[in-house]
Structure 1
Amino acid sequence: MNFLAHAYLSGSDEELLVGNFIADSVKGRQKDAYPVGIRKGIELHRLIDTFTDTHAIVKQTKERLRPEYGKFAGVITDMFYDHFLAANFNQFATMPLLHFTEYVYTTVQKYATYLPTEVQYFLPYMIKHNWLYRYAQVSGIKSSLEGLSRRSTFVSNMATATQALELHYPEYQQDFYQFFPDLQTYVKQSLDLDGSHATNKANQVPS
Structure 2
Amino acid sequence: MNFLAHLFLSKENTNIMIGNFIADHIRGNNYTAYSKEIQQGIFLHRAIDTFTDAHPIVRKSKRRLHERYGHYDGVIIDIFYDYFLAKNWNSYSEIPLDIYTNKIYSLFKEKAPDLPLKSQQFIKYMIEYDILFNYQFEEGIAKVLNGMNNRTKGKSQMNLAIEDLKNLKEVLEEDFTLFFKDLVNHSNKKLKEIIENL
User: What TM-score, normalized by structure 2, do the two folds share?
Assistant: 0.96
Is the partner of 1:42 in helix, strand or coil? helix
1: CA distance between counterparts of 2:136 and 2:189?
28
Cα deviation for residue 114 of structure 1 reads 2.5
User: Aligned letter for 1:148?
Assistant: M
User: Aligned letter for 2:35?
Assistant: P
Equivalence for 2:75: 75
Give % identity. Answer: 40
Equivalence for 2:31: 31
Listed as ranges, the matches of 1:113-124 within 5 Å are 113-124=113-124
Which range moved further: 71-80 or 108-117?
Answer: 108-117
Cα deviation for residue 105 of structure 1 reads 1.2
Cα deviation for residue 80 of structure 1 reads 0.3
2: CA distance between counterparts of 1:113 and 1:143?
27
Cα deviation for residue 112 of structure 1 reads 2.4
Is the partner of 1:168 in helix, strand or coil? helix
Residues 1:61 and 2:86 are matched in the alignment = no
Cα deviation for residue 138 of structure 1 reads 0.9
Equivalence for 2:180: 180
Equivalence for 1:3: 3
User: Aligned letter for 2:182?
Assistant: D
Which range moved further: 65-74 or 154-163?
Answer: 154-163
User: Aligned letter for 1:85?
Assistant: L
Listed as ranges, the matches of 1:135-154 within 5 Å are 135-152=135-152
Equivalence for 1:160: 160
Deviations 1:35-92 (A, max 9, x none): 1110110110000000000000000000010000001000000000000000010000
1: CA distance between counterparts of 2:196 and 2:99?
28
Equivalence for 1:47: 47
User: Aligned letter for 2:52?
Assistant: T
1: CA distance between counterparts of 2:35 and 2:112?
13
Is the partner of 1:11 in helix, strand or coil? coil
Cα deviation for residue 152 of structure 1 reads 1.2
Which range moved further: 165-174 or 117-126?
Answer: 117-126
Is the partner of 1:82 in helix, strand or coil? helix
Which range moved further: 9-18 or 144-153?
Answer: 144-153
User: Aligned letter for 1:64?
Assistant: R
Cα deviation for residue 126 of structure 1 reads 0.8
Q: Tell me the C-alpha RMSD between the 2 structures.
A: 1.3
User: What TM-score, normalized by structure 1, do the two folds share?
Assistant: 0.92
Moved over 6 A (4+): none
Residues 1:90 and 2:72 are matched in the alignment = no
Count of residue correspondences:
197
Return the structure number with greater relative CO, CA threshold 8 A, min gap 6.
1
Asked if the contact 1:145–1:159 (Cα under 8 Å) also holds between the matched residues in 2, the reply is: yes
Cα deviation for residue 154 of structure 1 reads 6.4
2: CA distance between counterparts of 1:138 and 1:159?
12
Cα deviation for residue 119 of structure 1 reads 1.3
Asked if the contact 2:25–2:118 (Cα under 8 Å) also holds between the matched residues in 1, the reply is: yes
2: CA distance between counterparts of 1:195 and 1:153?
41
Asked if the contact 1:34–1:114 (Cα under 8 Å) also holds between the matched residues in 2, the reply is: no
